[in-house]
């Protein structure tokens, strides 16, 4: 294959090509996938984006990639809030009834989003209620404020939150919601938070602890002239898209085409390849399958580090390995989308995820190995 020159590389100054100057560790270092534990307040996904981009049957129903991504988001928010599984079941049952787990931008009167929340009724701005993380958080805030919500009969708690004209529709969806909750729940079940803790949770949920920024040290670098794209067409499309964004600005919450945050760039690159993944570092770290060590990394893999605001168990920054020892990531507001080396990431890598298994991508089998 002829050497690849990304279309946006021409004319971009050397400052756009940066590498990290941290000594590399052994390339066989084992990594682990993280468990979600903090809420990322950027917008998650648009229609068509989802874990792996493949429809799946869960329980008695088959769901699209978009529906699965939204279900995963709703469950993840409950896990991050340390709410019981029952809360996720109620939220999913509600979203199944209200939108069939699609983040729609229309509805009855001014109803919008997964939960058909109405800005005129104090749920938030139109932009907020179509943000799946915000919408799920708003639902949980009102749910856990209801005394005894966890032991109410099927459909009662949902109706108390939603005040629907059709309250009988919620209860029958709880079995499907329970199956989805089991599919995406991370860790053990949680106890019902005491009422004196509820107010603290609602207040904390408004915070945005992670902005997806890297904290690696930087040195200039550029793509070598003999760089070639991977043979697999989907991986090639994702990699070429990521490389074509070099030099564009880092914008928190942005998904392109004029700017990106780190996870927004990953989602956009794979969407360009026709493969759907979820929206933030907290959910992307569960997408696809785990890669056991850096010695197994392949082009297109998502590589996670704690970043400026995350932790080893809740990584706050992600980049794409593009092959030949190079990484692409939306670094921060000062540097934008940059090119770095895999070696420079090595000391801080906490998880690697393979989004798709194409003809040239053979994912390891099994769960997430521990460090």
C-alpha to C-alpha distance for 157 and 170, rounded to whole angstroms: 9
CB atoms within 10 A of CB 325: 14
Given this model, what pLDDT does residue 215 score? 84
Q: CATH 3.90.1720.10 region(s) of the chain?
A: 14-36+210-354
Whether the upstream peptide bond of residue 257 has omega within 30° of 0, thus cis, is yes
Query: Beta partners for 57?
Result: 62
What pLDDT does residue 200 have?
Answer: 54
Dihedrals phi, psi of 262, to nearest 5 degrees: -65, -50
Residue-level pLDDT at 162: 93
Q: Sign of torsion, CA 354 360 365 369?
A: negative
CA 124, 126, 131: angle at the middle one, nearest 5? 80
What was the pLDDT predicted at 13? 35
1.10.510, 2.40.10, 1.10.530, 1.10.760: CATH of 56-205: 1.10.530
Instruction: Report the distance separating Cα 328 and Cα 53, nearest Å.
Output: 22
∠ at Cα 132 (130, 134), nearest 5°?
Answer: 85
Query: Can you give the pTM of this predicted structure?
Result: 0.48
pLDDT of residue 42: 40
**120 — phi, psi (to 5°)?**
-70, -15
- The encoded tokens of residue 298 equal 């392949």
Q: What is the CATH number assigned to the segment(s) 14-36+210-354?
A: 3.90.1720.10
Q: Where are the alpha helices (DSSP H) in 273-354?
A: 281-284, 342-345
CATH 1.10.530 domain locations along the chain = 56-205
CA 351, chain centre distance (Å): 14
The ranges of the chain with pLDDT < 50 are 1-52, 203-204, 206-210, 357-371
Angle at which helix 233-244 crosses helix 262-272, to 10 degrees, equals 140
- Predicted confidence at residue 359, as pLDDT, reads 30
Residue 152, exposed/middle/buried by CB under 10 A (0-12, 13-18, 19+)? middle
Distance CA 139, CA 330 (A): 31
Q: Are 42 and 316 in contact (CB under 8 A)?
A: no
Q: What is the pLDDT of residue 43?
A: 36
């Amino acid at each position: 294959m002829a050497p690849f020159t990304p279309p946006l590389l021409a004319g971009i100054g050397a400052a756009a090509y940066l590498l990290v100057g941290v000594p590399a560790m052994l390339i066989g270092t084992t990594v682990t996938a993280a468990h979600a534990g903090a809420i990322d307040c950027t917008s998650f996904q648009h229609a068509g984006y989802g874990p792996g981009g493949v429809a799946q049957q869960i329980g008695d129903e088959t769901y699209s990639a978009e529906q699965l991504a939204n279900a995963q988001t709703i469950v993840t928010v409950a896990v991050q809030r340390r709410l019981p599984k029952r809360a996720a079941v109620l939220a999913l049952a509600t979203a199944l009834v209200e939108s069939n787990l699609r983040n729609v931008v229309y509805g009855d009167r001014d109803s919008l989003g997964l939960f058909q929340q109405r800005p005129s009724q104090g749920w938030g701005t139109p932009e907020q209620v179509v943000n799946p993380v915000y919408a799920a958080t708003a639902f949980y805030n009102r749910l856990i404020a209801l005394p005894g919500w966890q032991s109410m009969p099927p459909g009662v708690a949902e109706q108390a939150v939603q005040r629907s004209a059709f309250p009988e529709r919620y209860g029958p969806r709880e079995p499907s919601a329970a199956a989805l909750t089991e599919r995406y729940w991370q860790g053990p079940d949680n106890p019902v938070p005491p009422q004196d803790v509820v107010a603290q949770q609602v207040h904390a949920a408004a915070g945005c602890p992670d902005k997806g920024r890297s904290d690696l040290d930087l040195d200039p670098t550029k793509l070598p002239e003999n760089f070639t794209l991977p043979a697999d067409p989907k991986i090639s499309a994702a990699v070429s898209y990521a490389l074509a964004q070099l030099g564009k600005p880092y914008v928190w919450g942005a998904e392109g085409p004029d700017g990106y945050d780190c996870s927004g760039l990953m989602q956009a690159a794979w969407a360009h390849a026709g493969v759907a993944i979820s929206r933030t570092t907290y959910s992307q770290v569960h997408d696809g399958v785990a890669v056991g060590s850096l010695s197994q990394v392949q082009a297109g893999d998502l590589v996670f580090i704690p970043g400026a605001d995350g932790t080893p168990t809740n990584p706050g920054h992600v980049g794409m390995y593009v092959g030949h020892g190079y990484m692409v990531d939306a670094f921060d507001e000062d540097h934008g989308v940059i090119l770095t080396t895999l070696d420079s990431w090595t000391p801080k890598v906490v998880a690697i995820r393979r989004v798709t298994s194409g003809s040239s991508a053979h994912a390891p089998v099994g769960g997430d190995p521990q460090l």
